[in-house]
Amino acid sequence: VVKVAAHPLVTLTTDFGDASPYVAAVKGVLLSVNPAARLIDLSHQIPPQDVRHAAFFLAAALPYFPPDALHVIVVDPGVGSERAILYVETAGVRLLAPDNGCWTLLPQSDQPRVRRLTESRYWRPTVSATFHGRDVFAPVAGHLSLGLDPAKLGPPVADWVRLTLPSPQMGMNSISGEITFVDHFGNLITNIPAAKLQPPTILIVGRHVFTCRFRWVRTYADAAPGTLVALTSSTGHLEVAVAQGNAARKLKAAVGTPVVVGWSR
C-alpha cells in the first residue's frame, strides 16, 4: 500500500541553468502526468555536468526534507548512453537520478533500495537521445507522485556507480584535506571533519600559510570585517571564510585546493 499525499512534494535539481526552457519542459511534462504535484526548485545552477558538485549539493540539502518527498536529479553527462537511470530509497530519501554516483554522499541505509528504470510505459511515447529529463525523469516522477509502486519501474539492481572522494589525511600534528565546496559567499568548505579539530594554530590554503593572521571563531560575526577566519561549517566540516568578505576571491581558492590545519607544539 502506497500512501499518496494530496499534494505530493517533488523537488528538482538540475544543471540546466535558470534561463533554460529545459527546466520548464520538465515541469510541464511532470504536471501533465500529475497536475497536483507540488514542485520545489532546489537549484538549476549545478555547474554543467559536474557530478561531484551535485553530490555535495544533494548531501547538504536532501536529508532535511520529509521522507515522502521525491527528489528528481538531472545532472547527466551520459544522457542517451547506456548509463542507467535509477530509482533510489536510502536513509529516508527517495530520488530519481542518473547512475553516475551523484547520490552516494548522502547518508546511506545498510541496504539502499535501488531499481533501474526499464519500463518505458511510464516514459514519454517518444524518447529523445539528449533530453531524458523531459522524456523519462519527468513522467516517471509524475507517476511516482501519483502513488505508482516503484517496483513497477524496473528490476532491482545491486550495484551502482559510487563517487570516490579524497579523504583527509591525519598527520602527527596536522590534518591535510582539500576544499570540496565553495559557496555563494566565497566561503570554503573542506573535507576535514570539524569535530576532530582543536582550534588550529597553523592554516594552509593552497600556497597561503597563516599562523597569526587568522582566527578560529564560532561564527563570522565574531571577527572584524575582512578578517580571515576558520570555523565549523553548517555541514560539520572545517570552513575557511573572510568575515563579511569573499575568501575564495581573496585566497584564489577553488574546489580541489589543498588545505592543511596544524598544531604547533
Residue type, 20: S
Q: What is the nearest approach in angstroms of its own copies to the Cβ of residue 16?
A: 6
| Encoded amino acid at 5, one letter | A
Q: How near is the Cβ of 172 to its own copies at its closest, in Å?
A: 29
Grid cell at residue 195: 569535530
Do 49 and 77 contact (CB within 8 A), yes or no? yes
Task: Pick the closest to residue 98 from 42, 14, 32, 26 (CA basis).
Answer: 14
Taking CA atoms, 256 is separated from 74, 106, 122, 224, in Å, by 24, 20, 40, 28
8-state DSSP, 1? -
CB of 7 vs its own copies, minimal distance in Å? 7
Residue closer to its own copies by CB (options 27, 116) is 27
Helices (H), 13-124: 21-33, 51-61
Rounded least distance, CB 157 to its own copies, Å: 20
Residue 50 or 119 having the CB closest to its own copies: 50
List CB contacts of 1: < 8 A, sequence separation 6 or more: none
Cβ closest to its own copies, residue 174 vs residue 186: 186
Contact residues for 125 (Cβ-Cβ < 8 A; gap 6+): none
Residue number, 118 or 244, with CB nearest to its own copies: 244
Between 95 and 176, CB nearer to its own copies:
95
Q: How far is the CB of 64 from its own copies (least distance, A)?
A: 3
